[in-house]
Amino acid sequence: MRKLKEFIIEKLILICGLASIFFVVLIFLFLLKEGLAVFKTVGPFKFLFGKSWYPISEPAQLGILPLIFGSLLVTLGAAIISIPVGVGCAVYIAEIAPAKIKEILKAGIELLAAIPSVVLGFVGMITLVPLVKSVFHLPTGLTALSGSIMLAFMAMPTIVSVAEDALYSVPKTYKEGALALGATHWQTIWRVMLPASSSGILAAVMLGIGRVIGETMAVMMITGNAAVMPNSILVPVRTLTATIAAEMGEAVVGSEHYFALFAIGIVLFIISFAINVTADLFLHKRQ
Amino acid sequence: MVKFEIHDLNIWFASTQALKQVNLEIQANEILSVIGPSNSGKTTFLRTLNRLNDLNARFRMTGAVELERQDIRGINIEDLRRRIGMVFALPLPLPLSIFENVAYGIRVYGEKRKKVLGHKVEEALQQAYLWEEVKDRLDESAFKLSGGQQQRLCIARTLAVGPEVILFDEPCSGLDPISTAKVEDAMIKLKEKYTIVLVTNNVKQAARVGDRTAFFLSGELIELDKTEKIFTAPCDKRTDGYVRGEFG
């Protein structure tokens, strides 16, 4: 009787464990089923590297290169801003801040993570966008730069908390060893703590970037949504995610346009899968 | 010459008292062994000398520790730690080559000239009795060394920055008897140039290398005397019981 109970519970837990993988596979298969249909009319090469996205013109032009560049540009900008600030913040919290300030900062960062992205987009629209417009004397402040700055805020909590964990996991003896040699606090951080936790910090960065590249709402509101090849960070761009969100409602089910949006979903899925696997590799290297 | 003078030293971590009213002097060029059961405060005592306890937010002390008649709290902390090197229980090489491990501390102080670095590294490795074993493979990873060699590498790293005092915190606790003997030989030769404080759980080690031995129990310094006296005719019954292995 007890053996039977054990057996049932074990199998139930097994099912729970497999469920997450099962769902991921299902989602991917569904994306493939809907998305691959687009390649009947557009070649994969033309789809990925085509420079114009005019899905409702006749005939439709379905090249997503401007969208890929839009996503990469916004992500790169966000990474350039959020990595130094985020890692710096993690170092401050883990190594320098007195206990009280540490608590306040950690609460603040958790709060930042809890703000819905649509609210961040909203705030960005009324504060950041006019600021970018007037600082750079642009016709519009709805640019890739605005998106980058806003997304940097969204990547920060992930980067800070994972990097902070990585710093905490450095054995105490490393730090004491360096200090006992007469190294200053800063030399200890720079030459011992950061190198010793580098794989964890890289994982933090990758996870932060993963979050940025999948973000939709805020970028849709403040990047201007122009599906053209960007030639600088100060022009409106459109990301992969924003394209799906903006156009799915108006695409006719079963049309070329509809399938193309699913194919964009596949591209996104592959990008974020690759980023997550990379982050995982770094994390495992640490252990 | 008196190197360290410790007056009325009391230490607390939060509300737990770790050291009680400790008074002692450490002579230059001697090996002072510190023995006692665990939780007797001997490591706390050692870490007070280079102010490593200051890392603990709950640490509090009264009394004074003087290095050559100067209160250590009045000395710049990096300078203090440069003058007082420390070797830890577990050998802790950095993930670098043998050469770079020893050069590390010197580089921290801004030395960049290759010739000076090479010279200092060789000198430190020789003093730690490791040079002959590693001179042909300085570029190999330090992790390829045996445990005993790694510990002597850490001694060399400490020596390379030119300290006056070396603190050993149970330096042989993870080593086999042969490696232990090599580290002990190194210590005995080092006292010609340096002052050595050795915390050890191995009573026999204290008897082998110490000029004087201090016995700590529950945060109190019970007895401090010449090593032969501690091991043959101690004044306090508790010392006698500990060195004969009756408790601890």
Closest chain B residue to A184, measured at CA: B78
The pLDDT value recorded for residue A182 is: 86
User: Would the CB atoms of A179 and B85 count as touching at under 8 Å?
Assistant: no
Q: What is the mean pLDDT of residues A13-27?
A: 92
| Residue B17 falls in which region: left (phi positive, over 0), alpha (psi -120 to 50) or beta | beta
pLDDT digits (tens, 9 = 90+) for A23-54: 989 999 999 998 888 888 888 888 888 888 88
Query: Range of A271's domain?
Result: 45-286
Is B247's pLDDT higher than 80?
A: no
Beta bridge partners of B16: B13
Chain A residues within 8 angstroms (CB to CB) of chain B: 99, 173-184, 187, 191-192
Closest chain A residue to B107, measured at CA: A183
Amino acid at B65: V
The pLDDT value recorded for residue A286 is: 56
Closest chain B residue to A95, measured at CA: B55
The string of DSSP letters for A49-117 reads H-S-EETTSSS-EE--HHHHHHHHHHHHHHHHHHHHHHHHHHHIIIIIS-HHHHHHHHHHHHHHHHS-H
CB nearest to A177's CB, from B79, B80, B92: B92
| Chain A residues with CB-CB distance to B55 below 8 A | 175-176, 179
User: Would the CB atoms of A180 and B90 count as touching at under 8 Å?
Assistant: no
Is A5's pLDDT higher than 60?
A: yes
The pLDDT value recorded for residue A173 is: 85
User: Terminus-to-terminus CA distance in chain B, angstroms?
Assistant: 33
B158 lies within 8 A of chain A by CB: yes
pLDDT digits (tens, 9 = 90+) for B89-105: 888 888 789 999 999 88
B57 lies within 8 A of chain A by CB: yes
- Domain of A132, CATH number, reads 1.10.3720.10
Q: Is residue A170 part of a domain?
A: yes
The pLDDT value recorded for residue B193 is: 92
Distance CA A8, CA A47 (A): 49
Extract the tokens encoding A186. Answer: 């800063």
B85 lies within 8 A of chain A by CB: yes
Q: Is residue A24 part of a domain?
A: no
Is A283's pLDDT higher than 80?
A: no
Q: Across A151-257, where does the E strand assignment appear? A: none
Dihedral, CA atoms, A31, A33, A37, A38, nearest 10 degrees?
10
| Chain A residues with CB-CB distance to B78 below 8 A | 182-184
| Chain B residues with CB-CB distance to A190 below 8 A | none
The three-state secondary structure class of B158 is helix
Is A225's pLDDT higher than 70?
A: yes
Number of domains in chain A: 1
User: Would the CB atoms of B88 and A173 count as touching at under 8 Å?
Assistant: yes
Residue contacts between A and B (CB atoms, under 8 Å): 49
Q: Are strands A53-54 and B212-217 parallel, antiparallel or unpaired?
A: unpaired
Beta bridge partners of B73: none
Q: Is residue A4 part of a domain?
A: no
- What is the pTM for the complete model shown? 0.79
pLDDT confidence band for B245 (50 / 70 / 90):
confident
Q: Is residue A221 part of a domain?
A: yes
Q: Are strands B165-169 and B84-87 parallel, antiparallel or unpaired?
A: parallel
User: Would the CB atoms of A191 and B85 count as touching at under 8 Å?
Assistant: no
Distance CA B217, CA B200 (A): 14
CB nearest to A183's CB, from B52, B108, B158: B108
B104 lies within 8 A of chain A by CB: yes
Phi/psi of residue A137, each to 5°? Answer: 50, 55
Q: Other CB atoms closer than 10 Å to residue A102's CB: what's the count?
A: 15
Cα distances (angstroms) measured from residue B141 to each of A117, A172, A245: 48, 22, 53
Mutation target among A96, A179, A185 for the B interface, most CBs of B within 10 A: A179
CB nearest to A181's CB, from B55, B79, B105: B105
Identify the CA nearest to B9 among candidates B49, B52, B39, B40.
B49
Closest chain A residue to B155, measured at CA: A181
pLDDT confidence band for A287 (50 / 70 / 90):
low
Class of domain B2-243: alpha beta
The pLDDT value recorded for residue A39 is: 87
User: Would the CB atoms of B52 and A176 count as touching at under 8 Å?
Assistant: yes
B109 lies within 8 A of chain A by CB: yes
Extract the tokens encoding A114. Answer: 């809890």
Q: Which of A69-83, B168-182, B191-205 has the lowest mean pLDDT?
A: B168-182
Mutation target among B88, B108, B170 for the A interface, most CBs of A within 10 A: B108
Looking at every residue in chain A, the average pLDDT score rounds to 90
